[in-house]
Structure 1
Amino acid sequence: MAMSSKSWPIVTVPIENESDVVAVRQRAHRVAELLGFDRQDQTRIATAVSELARNAFGYAGGGRAEFALDATAAPQRFVVRICDEGPGIANLQTILDGQYRSTSGMGLGLVGARRLMDTFSIDSKPGKGTKVEVGHKLPGRLDPWPRAKLTEIVSSLKKETSSDPLTALREQNRELMQSLDEIRRREEESQQLNQELGDTNRGVVALYAELDGRAEQLRQASELKTRFLSNMSHEFRTPLNSVLALSRLLLDRIDGELTSEQERQVGYIRRSAESLLELVNDMLDLAKVEAGKAEVKPVRFSVASLFGALRGALRPLLTSTSVELLFEPLQDFPPLCTDESKVAQILRNLISNALKFTEQGEVRVTARLSGDEQRVIFAVRDTGIGIAPEDHERIFEEFSQVQTRLQKKLKGTGLGLPLSRSLARLLGGDLAVESIPGQGSVFTLEIPASIGEPDRESLAPQSDTSKCVLLIDDDETFRYVLRQIVGNESRYEFIEAGGGEEGLKLAREKRPDVIILDLQMPTVDGFTVLQQLGADERTGAIPVVVSTSMTIDATLRSRLPDRVRLISKNAISRESVSLFLRDAVQSLT
């Protein structure tokens, strides 16, 4: 392991006693300073080199430290080589793998030096000594050192060496043989200092190891959180969807009229279920984004149509006549190509928040293009209570809520804004806020105007032909809801099965025109039912609509045949059922 022919030597320091370990550290620190390293790098280099010098003295009885500048590297590299002629290291790989600890800490010294420096190499054979070379790149802000200028540093170091009190004392002791008490005192001081430096080095190495461990713990905790939320999605959503569906049946008066008091009670039930489902959906969406599993589906759409949909959806939130919701008209605004549902989700969250915290005035929504027309900038401006500067970042933390005089009157989970910022960054943009207490707030969403080719999904023509519908679902409540909706439609014959095995039997016997299928069922699940339906010539051509509480994403779609249509149980209503039944049977009419 020889230094490169273009490595320019600077200085060599012998390692013969413990005080030399200190001298090596001081020399490494001084050379790093002269070469232009900042204070932090000077400390890192000196710490690594002194730990290696301490190993050479402690295990090999001494050696030498060679300092040089590697001119072949780009950028140039400060190189230190520690050589000894000791017994060598028999268990070298075990030490480098971090699996060996000696009582004096040699394993920590080698591993710590490797972490602190940019480059590290070691050559050690039993009985033939050890050579360790470490290097640190020169700061990029510096010009390369010419050979002539480096010579000036070498000369300066020689002058400093001759005036170094510790070195001068060592030379005087060798020449004049001062008294044994003086020599012993100097050695004790040097040993104490060396021990302190060794403890410091071990502390630095232990800190690095602890940080690595904490980072791994955080990664595992994040994975466990995501896995838990994903696994619990069905258990959370199924009962909530059932509550929503049943309340919709009552409000639609399918089984008769309601009194005004009953209607109010059912409305409370439905709003509570919707709030809880919104919380569950936000938690799951946030977990998917953090886990990198959220899918971006670009489509081409106009900002005018987006604003129109938002205006209609959010107008019911205007509970006070003293607040206006305004969407500035757009003229000649080019279409966007991004994930429309995620953009709408972000803006819907921002507008609803603005309406909650604005007692009078207006909430104004605008859109404009950046100067190069490559990005679109949405702004939601309100005249509400505003947000203090110290809370501008805290509102984007999960479950964080700023305490205000309106907060006690309003309900929220503190997930909306963190999710909105995560979705904005997923789309290649960001979400920011400007606000002054008492003067309102402006939330700005900036995203690319185009992020790829849009998905093309053809809309099938509708059909009103009388058809037989088979529902296969183990959830008795959901079967009841569908039975009430579809059973009241005279153009549909409705049959149902409480499990996959019974559903397959009815499908082969009745040959229905449409099958509505749940995926998560005991014994025979929906995936198995789909496979057996497709393999049987009697049922292979029957259209299948999968209704599920599972998260509908690319992973789920990849497990299903292309011919299968997916719909969330959360979206079930009289209108949606009629629509997807017509779409499913259109190929048979």
Structure 2
Amino acid sequence: MNTFAAHGAEPLVSFSLATEQDVFVLRRSGKSAAEALGVENQDQIRLATALSELGRDLLGSSGLTVVFGVVSSPLPVLRVAMSWQDGPGPGEEAMRAAARLVPVRHTSPEQTLAIEQPLTVGAHTADAVQQAREALMAHKGASMLDDTRAQTSDLIAALEESRAQREELRRLNEELEETNRGVVALYSELSEELEETNRGVVALYAELEEKSRQLREASEAKTRFWANVSHELRTPVNSVVGLARLLLEFDEARLDEEQRRQISLISASGATLLALVDELLDVAKAESGRLEPTWAAVDLRAALGQLRGTLRGYESPGAAELIVAESDVRIVSDEIMLVRILRNLLSNALKFTPTGTVRLDVASEDGDEGGHVVFTVSDTGIGIPEDEQQQIFEEFYQVRGPHQRGRSGTGLGLPYARRLTELLGGRLTLTSSPGAGTVVTVRLPATGPASDGPGDRETETPLVAVLVTVDDDDAFRATIRPLLDQLAGRVVEVGEGGLASSAVRHERPDAVLLDLHLPDLDGYAVLAQLAADPGLRAVPVVILTSTPAEDLDRDRLTHARAILEKATLTLPKLVAALSEQATPAPPGAGQKDDTA
């Protein structure tokens, strides 16, 4: 008793265990005490059965005593202690059987067994403990018959409870099966819907792919149309502009004032048409990714002076004043593209600035990304509404309003300027407010890739003594003849490809200018004849053509010194192409394809 109390337990009752009748009392006492303390029915039976097994196994041990008590901490338990003074103690089989039912601790030196039944927190109240004590006292006179009846009653109750649990389990299984059937049906329905959705997505994706392909084809067709039409227009327009200029320059004495005015109108209209054709062609090239800059040092002073002179015609009495600031800033870029960007921006500003000023400023700036040159075109014109400041960079879009009257345009100027700016590695931004004018900023890198060829330079004396030109276009030959007279001491013109080789063999020129499109023998064949003749292959050949760069058969042009485009032909370019007296270049080397 004292040992039991030392373990922190509150004793309920104790008695000796000496006969089989005492084992019956032990079983009934354990169940009754557990019931009074709120233990579930099945746990009551397990405790009673374990006590019966251990008590019966320990019968015969001297001084065998049983003590019931309640332990409050660390966790509440109903503890039953069996102690004896002498004897073998419980057998292994009895210990295993009891341990499967309830926790059992065996202390060999003290010859004590402790069987513990966990209680729920708050179940061992004073009233519950008193009820347990009274229940234990009530079973001291139990007989074998009473115990047998009690066991039978417990067994019937356990069976009833097991049957009820089995029925509940069956019901739960049926509900689970029903739920599973619903889940399977829902899964099947969702799978079908998902499959249908996937089929719709695949069909939509295929339709989008088809639409995208059609849009690409339409865009490519539009680009080809622009390029082809622009290319076909360039040659006759170039001829009109060139011949008009020749008439004004060389026949001025024989023209009266009205004739000069009419020819000037022809020249100005032709120049406007040519600029529009150039823009269309370059926009098409930019869209297809075939427009590449030709990098070289730009003489900004000369370029800005050219802009100032070109745009002077926009000024009229009472109109906006054009101010182009002087600048000696150094920049490596594509001069043609740069001038076109600035010309488009300035002409656009002049067009929509009835009075006030249009100004171009140039400044250099340094930063973490290297030096840049900033071109700022500002005007005091009508301005652009904020909701249309992004749309104006769409091709052919124009801001609608009365300001359009008397002002022609295609809506290509700003998109074209932005495309060229991006090709040059820069950025074009615009800020504007209706009635307060517009500011367009072009920010370009100050340095670019090194130029492949020599810089443009003027020549005061003829570069070559004899020059042979092979071209069937009389108008083009007449247009470039003034340039060639500055380049060569004598120019020999040949109008047929079949006569080219014999003319070169007879004249032994210092250079040959060769067109590719000839009526009888094309330029490719003429070039092959010159390359195959040991006596003629050393003569430098420069190709002059209107064929777009992407349509050239470069494998057949390896003998050419350079490839120049007719529409942008200038004396410095001819000088650069012929200034190096080198042997024929290998494929792709040294060929300067100016398609800007």
TM-score, scaled to structure 2: 0.59
- For residue 425 of structure 1, what is the amino acid of its counterpart? E
Match of 1:338 in 2: 333
Secondary structure of the residue aligned to 1:252 is helix
Distance in 1 between residues matched to 2:171 and 2:207, nearest whole Å: 45
Tell me if 1:407 matches 2:404: yes
Match of 2:508 in 1: 511
Corresponding residue of 1:54: none
Deviation at 1:311, TM superposition (A): 2.7
Give the 3 Å change call, closer, same or farther, for CA 211–292 of structure 1 in structure 2.
same
Identity score, percent: 40
Residue 294 of structure 1, CA deviation: 1.8
CA contact (8 A) 2:464 2:511 kept: no
Q: Measured at CA, do residues 570 and 465 of structure 1 come closer, stay the same or move farther in structure 2, by a change above 3 Å?
A: closer
- CA distance in 2 between counterparts of 1:465 and 1:190 reads 87
- Give the structure 2 partner of residue 440 of structure 1: 437
- How far did residue 507 of structure 1 move? 2.1
Distance 1:420 1:376 in 2: 16
CA contact (8 A) 2:244 2:266 kept: yes
1:563 CA drift (Å): 6.4
Partner of 2:198: 201
Instruction: Name the CA distance, whole Å, in 1 between partners of 2:501 and 2:571.
Output: 22
Matched residue type, 1:175: E
3-state SS of 1:381 partner: strand
Q: 1:361 and 2:360 equivalent?
A: no
How far did 1:230 drift? 4.1
Matches within 5 A, 1:408-427: 408-427=405-424
Pairwise CA distance, 1:556: 7.9
What per-residue deviation string (whole Å, max 9, x for no partner) do you get for residues 468-517 of structure 1? 5433212243345567x59999x955543332112222222343454332
Contact 1:242 1:478 in 2 (8 A): yes
Seen in structure 2, the aligned counterparts of structure 1 residues 190 and 273 have a Cα distance that, compared at 3 Å, is same
Give the one of 302, 312, 323 matched to 2:320: 323
- Once the two structures are TM-superposed, the CA of residue 415 in structure 1 deviates from its matched residue by 1.4
From 532, 543, 560, give the equivalent of 2:529.
Answer: 532
Residue 350 of structure 1: how far off its partner (Å): 0.6
Secondary structure at the counterpart of residue 401 of structure 1: coil
User: Once the two structures are superposed, what CA deviation does each residue of 1:281-337 show, in whole Å capped at 9, x if it has no partner?
Assistant: 112211222222222232234655543443333333322454222234558x5x223
- Residue 380 of structure 1: CA displacement? 0.7
Using a 3 Å threshold, how does the CA distance of structure 1 residues 259 and 557 change in structure 2: closer, same or farther? farther
Alignment of 1:35-434 (within 5 A): 175=174, 195-254=192-251, 257-301=254-298, 303-328=300-325, 333=329, 335-368=330-363, 369=365, 371-372=367-368, 374-434=371-431
> What is the identity, as a one-letter code, of the residue corresponding to 1:261?
E
Query: CA contact under 8 A between 2:321 and 2:357: conserved in structure 1?
Result: yes
Residue 361 of structure 1 aligns with an amino acid whose one-letter code is: G
Which amino acid in the other structure matches residue 471 of structure 1? T
Distance (whole Å) between structure 1 residues aligned to residue 182 and residue 238 of structure 2? 82
Displacement, 1:442? 0.7
Alpha-carbon distance between aligned partners in 1 of 2:483 and 2:348, rounded to the nearest angstrom = 38
Give the direction of change, closer, same or farther, for the CA distance of 1:557–1:247 in structure 2 (3 Å limit): farther
Q: TM-score, normalised by structure 1?
A: 0.59
Residue by residue, what CA displacement relative to the aligned partner does 1:410-466 show, whole Å, maximum 9, x if unpaired?
A: 111111211111111122222121111111001111222223334451548553499
Q: Secondary structure at the match of 1:406?
A: helix
> CA separation of 1:455/1:319 partners in 2, compared to 1, >3 Å: closer, same or farther?
farther
Distance 2:319 2:200 in 1: 63
Q: How many residues align?
A: 410
Q: Verify the 8 A CA contact 1:511 1:538 in the aligned structure 2.
A: no
Residues in 2 aligned to 1:273 and 1:184: alpha-carbon distance in whole angstroms: 83
Deviation at 1:240, TM superposition (A): 1.5
Max Rg structure? 2
Distance 2:361 2:554 in 1: 35
Change (3 A) 1:507 1:200: same
Deviation at 1:232, TM superposition (A): 4.7
Which residue in 2 is equivalent to 1:57? none
Contact 1:249 1:481 in 2 (8 A): yes
Write the deviation string for residues 150-197 of structure 1: whole angstroms up to 9, x where unpaired.
xxxxxxxxxxxxxxxxxxxxx989606999xx9999998887666544
Which residue matches 1:474?
472
Give the drift of 1:237: 1.6
Take 1:298 and 1:173, find their aligned partners in 2: how far apart are those partners?
A: 84
Residue in structure 1 matched with residue 566 of structure 2 by the alignment: 569
* Unmatched 5+ stretches in structure 1: 1-170
Gaps of 5+ in 2: 1-169, 583-596
Cα distance, 1:216 vs structure 2: 2.9
2-structure distance, mates of 1:172, 1:427:
80
The answer (yes or no) to whether the contact 2:454–2:576 under 8 Å persists in 1 is: no
Distance 1:554 1:297, change over 3 A: farther
Match of 1:546?
A: 543
Letter in 2 for 1:345: R
